[in-house]
Amino acid sequence: DAGITQSPRHKVTETGTPVTLRCHQTENHRYMYWYRQDPGHGLRLIHYSYGVKDTDKGEVSDGYSVSRSKTEDFLLTLESATSSQTSVYFCAISWDISYEQYFGPGTRLTVT
């Protein structure tokens, strides 16, 4: 398995509070991604990074921001959590010029 960890694994927070999820990799892969998985929607891309300090938006980026200050860490921030952001969040990584992405174990976030 690729060395990807996500923290926390579970979190319950209240509407309006800020939340930061962390993805850490030990593989030195260039690309990192954040997805959310919801029933009936499959996996949807939130943001991705193609290098340190290089990020771009995905399909469902509204309400989320990301940062990547070093190769191994990719942070996803919900500035003001809403109930619609209750979901399971997955981080993924991929090597240069490779389509195969390798996923972390996920973070289950509940916004009450």
Partner 1 sequence: DQQVKQNSPSLSVQEGRISILNCDYTNSMFDYFLWYKKYPAEGPTFLISISSIKDKNEDGRFTVFLNKSAKHLSLHIVPSQPGDSAVYFCAASYSGAGSYQLTFGKGTKLSVIP
Residues that bind partner 1 (CB under 8 A): 4, 31, 33, 40-45, 48, 50, 56, 58, 90, 92, 94, 97-106
CA nearest 72: which of 51, 57, 102?
51
Between 70 and 99, whose beta carbon lies closer to partner 1? Answer: 99
Least distance between partner 1 and beta carbon 35 (Å) = 8
**What's the closest the beta carbon of residue 30 comes to partner 1, in angstroms?**
10
DSSP string, 58-74: -TT-TTEEEEEEETTEE
Cβ-based nearer residue to partner 1, 92 or 111: 92
**Residue with structure tokens 């174990």?**
105
Q: How far apart are CB 85 and partner 1 at their closest, in Å? A: 19
**Is residue 83 classed as helix, strand or coil in its secondary structure?**
helix
Burial class (CB in 10 A: 0-12, 13-18, 19+), 63: middle
For residue 57, the minimal CB distance to partner 1 (Å) is 11
C-alpha–C-alpha distance, residues 97 and 67, integer Å: 22
Residue number with CB closer to partner 1 (56 or 79): 56
- Name the residue nearer to partner 1 (CB basis): 54 or 79: 54
